[in-house]
Amino acid sequence: MTKNVAAIVGGGVIGGGWAARFLLNGWDVQVFDPDPQAARKIGEVLDNARRSLPGLSDMPLPAEGRLSFHDDLAEAVAGAGWIQESVPERLDLKHKTFAAVQAACDATAIIGSSTSGFKPSELQQGAARPGQIVVTHPFNPVYLLPLIELVPSALNDADLIHRAKDLLTGLGFFPLHVKKEIDAHIADRFLEAVWREALWLVKDGVATTEEIDEAIRMGFGIRWAQMGLFETYRVAGGEAGMRHFMAQFGPCLKWPWTKLMDVPEFTDELVDMIAEQSDAQSGRHSIRELERIRDNNLVSMMRALKAQDWGAGAVLNAQDRRVKAEALPDLDRADLSQPILTLARAVPLDWTDYNGHMTESRYLDAFAQSTDRFMELIGCDSSYIASGGSYFTAETHIRHLDEAHAGDRIRVETQMLLGQGKKLQLFHRMYKGGQLLATGEHFLLHVSLATRKPCAPPAAIEGAMARIARAQSALPWPEWAGASIRKPG
């Protein structure tokens, strides 16, 4: 299989985020940035990404790609299938960059621009192959947030757009295909509107920067994160829906409340006022500390949405489903003579506690997921459970042997100690690399969901357990299996 290669042209905050997203999804990444601090800056972004991005997924990310830095642009784009431009927002600089890139890159490569304001037709002016260039505008942090505004012009053919969507989706993004190009695309136009109004509120002494931020994050910001704008207002209209909401609140649009079309003069006095208020609000934290706080919050919120299969969480679940088929073997692909891989994932940020390591309840959570996977392997999957049969856990014993921290890649291997009749006894071992972190022994009984009482499973499940029992018969009985907490002394 040919290794996917991405070239990053411009390694600032956005370029570094792109590098992290590609790299942690298994792509080799070649970076060009004349800044002598580029390697350090991208390295710091990668440290945050390695800690937070893997925890969004309940499946393992692929092995990390290879990162390299290049002083020569032609060398950086050589062999790349995707080239992401993230240089400063100057059209002349972007044109110069595209000319140099196209002189050296593969003609079939996709050249995406991170521009937040320029239209693709503006970027394509004077290009050797204008149809090769498309807007792919991300949101910071690029390694966590799923939205990419994919904006083509009439010069981009359907095949390039289709390939771009597929590649971005494979990286866990949500590519929003903007059908009609416009300055600042879609999302930034909303942000600019709120930004203008916020500047006026500060300038006129109505609110401080902190009060404005509190108004957003304590109220409509949370609603928007899970339901957007129009769906939020549809719900606000009650049973009558959007039509009632528009009738009730439409007239206020004529009231002279906002100053969206009137931008305050950007004076030194206004800049100083906002900077001083911002320092008072957040200055106790360094930028790197704020980035980690932001990442912690974003991962926790998106994992909550993931549990509801909603919004950004639905995008994450779809990515997990794409990865699962390859990450965890089925009964025919697994080496049944050895303990079976039943879990492979990273430790999410919200699995850690006040001691800075994985909390004890999450060891049980991980082992429960492993048990669920084993049940799927023997035929007790969601369809079977819906038909009225399942396994209930009757007893659990966990040993905590070593620590796991946020971002650590863990795996669980499962040995079946007993699988006969209504009884199922499993022994899980959790590892980080070659290091044994914990063991979990679980005794389960097959039950009828109609009576909630133990009963024998059907022949197909009995047969699958017998197949595993034969294959694992030579495995030694695990240390501590069958034991409870030993009396001290």
Asked if residue 60 lies in contact with residue 345, where contact means CB atoms within 8 angstroms, the answer is yes
Phi then psi for 452, rounded to 5 degrees? 65, 25
Residue 244 CB neighbours (<10 A): 14
- DSSP for 385-401? HHTTEEEEEEEEEEEE-
Element (H, E) at 437: strand 435-448
**What are the contacts of 151-156 at 24+ separation with CB within 8 A?**
151/119, 151/120, 151/178, 151/181, 151/185, 152/120, 152/177, 152/181, 153/119, 153/120, 153/121, 153/124, 153/181, 154/121, 155/120, 155/121, 155/124, 155/130, 155/131, 156/120, 156/131
Residue 145 is given by DSSP the state -
Annotated binding-site members for NAD(+)? 10-15
Return d(Cα 88, Cα 11) in angstroms, integer: 10
One-letter amino acid at 397 equals H
Residue 31 is given by DSSP the state E
Angle CA 446–452–458, to nearest 5: 35
Asked if residue 144 lies in contact with residue 298, where contact means CB atoms within 8 angstroms, the answer is yes
Annotated binding-site members? 10-15
Q: How far is CA 452 from CA 235, 263, 345, 392, 424, in A?
A: 39, 66, 32, 9, 17
Rg (CA), the chain: 27
Residue 280 is given by DSSP the state H
* Short-list 21, 8, 17, 55, CA closest to 404: 55
Contacting residues for 230 by C-beta, under 8 A, at least 6 apart:
242
Quick one: tokens of 404? Answer: 């796991």
Quick one: tokens of 343? Answer: 């879990």
